[in-house]
Structure 1
Amino acid sequence: MPALSLTRSLEIAVSRSGRDERIDAQKEKRSFEDSDSNSTQDLEAGDVNLDRKESLVRERSREVEDSNLVWWDGDDDPANPMNWSATKKWTNICVMSMITFLTPLASSMFAPGVSQVMDEFNNTNELLAALVVSIYVLGLAFGPLVLAPLSEVYGRLIIYSICNILYVIFTVACAVSTNMDMLIVFRFLAGCMGSAPLAIGGGTIADLFPVHQRGLALSFYTLGPICGPVVGPVAGGFLSQAKGWRSNPQSGAITIAQSLFMRETYAVTILARKTIRLQKATGNKNLRSKLDTGIPPRDILIHAIVRPTKMTLLSPINILLSAASAFIYGILYLLLTTFPLVFEQTYGFSVSISGLSYIGLGIGNIAGTLIFTCTSDRYIRRQASRGKLKPEDRLPVLLISSPVIAAGLFWYGWSAQAHTHWIVPIIGSALVGAGNMCFFMPVMGYLVDAFTEYAASALAANTVLRSIGGALLPLAGRSVYARLQFGWGNSLLGFLALGFFPATVGLYRFGERIRVRYPVKL
C-alpha cells in the first residue's frame, strides 16, 4: 500500500506539472495572438487612414478640377440657347428657313428658262439641258460633306455668314456667264454654298428646342428644300419670259437679315468663347469648357468630315433612309424638269403659264406639312407622358408616304398620256407633293432626334445621297418618257416608290432594335 500510494502521488504530481505547463503554453499563445491581433489592427488602421487621405486628396483634386470647368450659370442661364426667349428662337428659325427656301428655289427657278439658255448658247444637247438644272443639286450634295463638319468645329453662325455671301457672288456670276461651261461651273459652286442651311439647319433646331418642341420648327425648315423647288418654276416662268433667264433675283436681302438677326446657337462654341473670356478676366489658364474634349481642332475637323461618311456606310438605318431619300428626291426633280415637256408640248402652255403647273406640287407640300405638324409633336408628347419616348416616334406619318407618292404618280402619268383636262395631272402631282412632305419631314425629325449631338452630320449624310438622286435621276427623265410614254414611265416610278413601303414599316417597328444592335462609333 505505501508503495502504491507513493507511485500514485508521483503520477498525480507529474500530471499536475504537465497540466500547468500546458496552461502556461496556452497563456503564452493567447498573449502572442493578442499581441499579433493588436499589431494587425494597428496596420489596418494605418491603411484606413491612408485610404482616407487618398480619398480626400482625390476629392479635393476633383473639386479643383470641377472649379476649372466652365458650364452654364444654372438651369436658367440666358446664354444657353435652350433658354432663349421664344421671339429670339423663332427669329433665328425664320431667317434660317428663308435661306433654306431660297437656295433650293434657285435650283428649279432656272428650269423654265433652259430653252432660252440652249438657244442663246447654240446648243441642242438634251442631256446638257437637264444637266444645267441638276448640276446645282449636285452642288447641294457635296457642300454638306465639308460644311456640316466645319459647323461642329467653328460654330453654326460663321458657316451661315460666309456661305451666304459666297452664294450671292456665285449666283451673280451665273447671271453674267458667257458660255455653257462657265454657267455650269458657277451653278455647281452656288449649289455648294447654298447647301449650308440644308447641312446644318437640323443642328440649329436641335440647339434651340427640346425633342417635344421640334415638330413645328422642323415643319418650317423642311418646307424650304421641298417647296423651294416647286415655287421656283412658277416665278421663273414669268421672269424668264419677261426679262430673260439672266434676271433671276438674288438673296442679298436674306444675307443682310442673317447677319443682323441670327446668333450663334451651338453650345460647344458658346462655352468655348465663354471660357476664353473667363481666362482673360481671371488669368486662370486651367479653365476649360465642360464640352471640351481636349482633342485638337484639326483632329476634330478630320473626325467630323469622316463622320457623315461613316453614318452613310456603317449605319443600316442611314443607308436605308439615304437610299429612299435619294429616290424620292430624284422623283421630285424628275417631275420638275419634265413638267415643261408635259404642259408645253402636250397642253400647249406658254413658258410663263407652264410655271403655274407646279402649283399642284406646292399645294400638296402644304397639305403634307399640315399633316405632319398637326400630328407629330402631339404624338411625341403623348409618348413622353407614358415614358416610352424614342426617336422612332417621329415616323408614323412616314408610313403613308410611299403609297401616296405612288398613287400620285399613277394619277399624273396616265391622265397626262390620256390628254385629259390639264387640272387632272396637276391634282396627281399634288398627291406626289403631299407624299414628299410626309416622307421628308419624319425622316429629318428622326435623324435630329436619333443623333442630337451630331444632327448636322446625320442630315449632311442624308443630304448628300438625296441631292445626288435629285441631280442624276432627272437626267433619265426625257429618255424614259420617250420609250415608255407618260403612263408607264410614271407607273415604273410609282412601283419603285411602293417598294420602299415594307422598309418604312420595318424601320418603324424595329428601328430601335437596329440602332442598338448596330451603333456607329462617331
Structure 2
Amino acid sequence: MAAPSPPGSSKSSMRSVVFENRGSSAKSLADSSMTDIELQPYDDDIKEDDEKEAHLQGDVEQALMDLEHCIVGWDGVDDPQNPKNWPRKERYRSLMMISLMGFVMSVPLTPTAHPNSKDFNQLTNILFSPLASSMVSPGVLIMNREFKNRNLELTTFVISVNVLGWAFGPLLFAPLCDIFGRRRVLDFANMNFVIWQIGCALAPNISSLVVFRFLVGLGGAGCLTIGGGTISDLFSTMESGAASAVFAMGPLFGPVVGPIAGGFLAQRVGWRYAYWTLLAFGGFITTLATIFGRETHPAVLLERKAAALRKSIGNPALINYYYRHHPERTRKDIFIDSFKRPIKMVVQSPICAIMCLYMSIMYGILYLLFTSMPLVFYQKYSWDPEKTGLSYLGIGTGLFLGLIIIGKSSDSILMKLAAANGGVAEPEMRLSMSAGFVSLLPVGLFWYGWSVENHTHWIVPIIGMMFVGFALMGVFVPIQTYMIDAFKGYSAAALAALTSSRSVVGAVLPLAGAPMYKKLGYGWGNSLLAFVALAMIPPVWLLYKRGGQLRKRNPVRLD
C-alpha cells in the first residue's frame, strides 16, 4: 500500500500522476500493484494550492489524478478528455446546439386572427407571456371558438402554463444532470419538448391543451437549465463572457423572430399549424444534438473513468475526485442533494437571492412591455395583425447590438480589471458594464411610452424599443455570466434558481399588463416601468463595488 505523503512534503510530491498514454493507463496501474491501494484521507491543501495556481484562469478545481490517495481525476491540466481542453470549435459547436434549441423553444409561432375579426377587441384581456408566447396574440380567439371556451382566465392560463413548466423544469433537470450527465438529460428534455408538440397540435379540448403545453414548457426548460452548466464545463472564467453571449442568442432572439414568422405564416393555415412547425424545427435540432452532442459534465465523465479503472484493475477503492468527500452516496442521495441546491443557494447566499429578485424584476418589465406592443401597432397605428410582429424588429435590433458589444468586450474587460487587481479575477467584475447598460432602460421606456401616447410616427417608438433591447442585453448576459463565475461547481443550481424565479414572474405578472395600460395609458404606464428601471440602477452598481465582500462573508455550503 502506498504510504501517504508526509505533511511537510513538497507540492510536487503530492501532485497527481499524469498518464502519458491513456490506452496503457490500466495496465500500468495493474503492473504497479495499485490494486492494493487503500483510500487515504484527501489533503485539501492540494486543492488550495491548485486554486492559487488556477486563479488567473478562473478554474477553481483542476480535479487532477491523485493515485496516492486513490483519487481519479484528469490526466494532467492538458488532458484532452477534459471538456475545457477540447478544440475551440468543438466547444462552441456543443454550446450552439443548446442555443439553437433555446431559440426553437422560445419561438412563439402563434397564429393571428383575421384583421376584421370583431373578437380582436378582446385582446386587451388576453396576455401572452414572452419567451413562451411573446406577443398578445388574437390567434387564441380562434382556438376559443373551436373549443367553445368563454372563460377568460382559462384562456390566459393556456398560455402562461407553458412558463410554469419553465419554473418547475430546472428543479428537476439540474439534479438529474449530476447523475446521468448533461447530454442524456438534455436529449430527454428536448425529446419531450418535441413529442408534446404533437399533443398540442391534436388537442381535442382546451383542458388537454393546458396539460400538453405544460409538458412542452417542462421539456423546454432543459436547454435553459443546462446551458449555464455547459458553459461552466467548457470554458474558463476568461472565456465565459463570450460563451454566455453565444448561448443567449437563442432564448432571447426566439421571441423576436416568433411573432414575425407567426404573423405571416400561421394565420393562413390555422392555430394548430404553429405546433406542427415547432415539431419540425425542434425535431431537426434535437436529432442533430442527439447525434453530435457530447457529454460535458466533469463529475459524470470522471465517474465513468473511475468505474472503468475499478473494473480494469480490480480496485474498488478508487473514487471520483468530485465524490471524494462523500464516497458512499447513492444516486438517490445525489438527486436529493442536488434538488435542494437551488433552494439552499437562495437561502444561504444573499447574492443569489438578490440576483434572482433583480432578474425577476427586469424580466417583469420586459413581460409587461411585450403585452402592449401588438396592441399599440394594431390600435394606434392601424397595422393589421400579420404585420404587428414587425414591431419586434426594434427590440430585436437592440438585443443584437448589445450582444455584439457584450460578446466582444466582456472577457477583455475582465482581463483588464483582473490585471489591475493583482491578477485576481473577481466574479463581480462581470457587472462593470451593467450599470451603464441599465441606465439606458428608463430612457427607452420613457421614449416608447410617450411617443405612443402622442401618436408620433411609428418609427419613433420602435427606436425607443431599440434602447430597451440594448439595455436588457447588457443586464441579462452579465448577470448570467456572473452567476456562473460566482458559483463555480454549482452553476447549474444557481441558474436553476434564476430561471425558476423569473419564470414564476413570467407566468403571473403579465396578468397585470392590461389593467395597468387601461388605467394609466401607454405614457404613464411605461413611465411606471421606467421609474422601476431607474430604481434598478444603484443596486447593480453596489453589487459591482461591494458584492464581493457580501459573497465572501456568506459562502455557500451545499455538500
Structure 1 length as normaliser, TM-score? 0.85
CA deviation after TM superposition for structure 1 residue 55, in Å: 11
RMSD: 2.3
Aligned residues of 2:376 and 2:452 also touching (Cα < 8 A): yes
Match of 1:262 in 2: 293
Match of 2:213 in 1: 187
Could you tell me how far apart the structure 2 residues matched to 1:65 and 1:402 are?
Answer: 50
**2:413 pairs with one of 354, 379, 396:** 379
Aligned residues of 1:407 and 1:431 also touching (Cα < 8 A): yes
Aligned residues of 2:241 and 2:478 also touching (Cα < 8 A): no
Aligned residues of 1:331 and 1:470 also touching (Cα < 8 A): no
Correspondence 1:302 to 2:336: yes
Unaligned runs of 5+ in 1: 1-51
Query: Rg bigger for which structure?
Result: 1
Match of 1:349 in 2: 383
Mapping 1:108-123, distance limit 5 Å: 108=133, 111-112=136-137, 113-123=139-149
Structure 2 length as normaliser, TM-score? 0.80
CA deviation after TM superposition for structure 1 residue 162, in Å: 0.5
Correspondence 1:505 to 2:505: no
Match of 1:45 in 2: none
Mapping 1:38-437, distance limit 5 Å: 62=40, 66=68, 68-106=70-108, 107-108=132-133, 111-112=136-137, 113-248=139-274, 249=277, 250=279, 251-292=282-323, 293-294=326-327, 295-386=329-420, 387-437=423-473
Could you tell me how far apart the structure 2 residues matched to 1:502 and 1:110 are?
Answer: 31
SS of structure 2 residue aligned to 1:388: coil
- In 2 relative to 1, CA 183–335 (structure 1 residues): closer, same or farther, beyond 3 Å? farther
CA deviation after TM superposition for structure 1 residue 434, in Å: 1.1
Could you tell me how far apart the structure 1 residues matched to 2:313 and 2:529 are?
Answer: 64
- In 2 relative to 1, CA 145–317 (structure 1 residues): closer, same or farther, beyond 3 Å? same
Match of 2:476 in 1: 440
CA deviation after TM superposition for structure 1 residue 520, in Å: 2.5
SS of structure 1 residue aligned to 2:416: helix
- One-letter amino acid of the structure 2 residue matched with residue 144 of structure 1: P
Could you tell me how far apart the structure 2 residues matched to 1:480 and 1:111 are?
Answer: 15
- In 2 relative to 1, CA 75–65 (structure 1 residues): closer, same or farther, beyond 3 Å? closer
Could you tell me how far apart the structure 2 residues matched to 1:164 and 1:408 are?
Answer: 36
**Number of equivalences:** 469
SS of structure 1 residue aligned to 2:268: helix
- In 2 relative to 1, CA 125–426 (structure 1 residues): closer, same or farther, beyond 3 Å? farther
CA deviation after TM superposition for structure 1 residue 335, in Å: 2.6
- One-letter amino acid of the structure 2 residue matched with residue 271 of structure 1: L
Aligned residues of 2:310 and 2:318 also touching (Cα < 8 A): yes
Aligned residues of 1:314 and 1:520 also touching (Cα < 8 A): yes
- One-letter amino acid of the structure 2 residue matched with residue 486 of structure 1: Y
- In 2 relative to 1, CA 415–494 (structure 1 residues): closer, same or farther, beyond 3 Å? same
Could you tell me how far apart the structure 1 residues matched to 2:383 and 2:8 are?
Answer: 83
Post-superposition CA distance 1:78-111 (Å, at most 9, x none): 1111111112111101111101222122412675
Post-superposition CA distance 1:432-451 (Å, at most 9, x none): 11111111001000000001
Match of 2:513 in 1: 477
- One-letter amino acid of the structure 1 residue matched with residue 554 of structure 2: Y
Aligned residues of 2:136 and 2:372 also touching (Cα < 8 A): no
Could you tell me how far apart the structure 2 residues matched to 1:492 and 1:116 are?
Answer: 33
- One-letter amino acid of the structure 1 residue matched with residue 240 of structure 2: R
- In 2 relative to 1, CA 53–160 (structure 1 residues): closer, same or farther, beyond 3 Å? closer
Deviates more, 1:379-388 or 1:300-309: 379-388
- One-letter amino acid of the structure 2 residue matched with residue 72 of structure 1: W
Post-superposition CA distance 1:482-501 (Å, at most 9, x none): 11111111111111111111
- One-letter amino acid of the structure 1 residue matched with residue 388 of structure 2: S
Aligned residues of 1:103 and 1:228 also touching (Cα < 8 A): yes
Could you tell me how far apart the structure 2 residues matched to 1:436 and 1:391 are?
Answer: 20
Aligned residues of 1:147 and 1:199 also touching (Cα < 8 A): yes
State percent identity of aligned pairs: 42
Could you tell me how far apart the structure 2 residues matched to 1:498 and 1:254 are?
Answer: 40
Match of 2:32 in 1: none
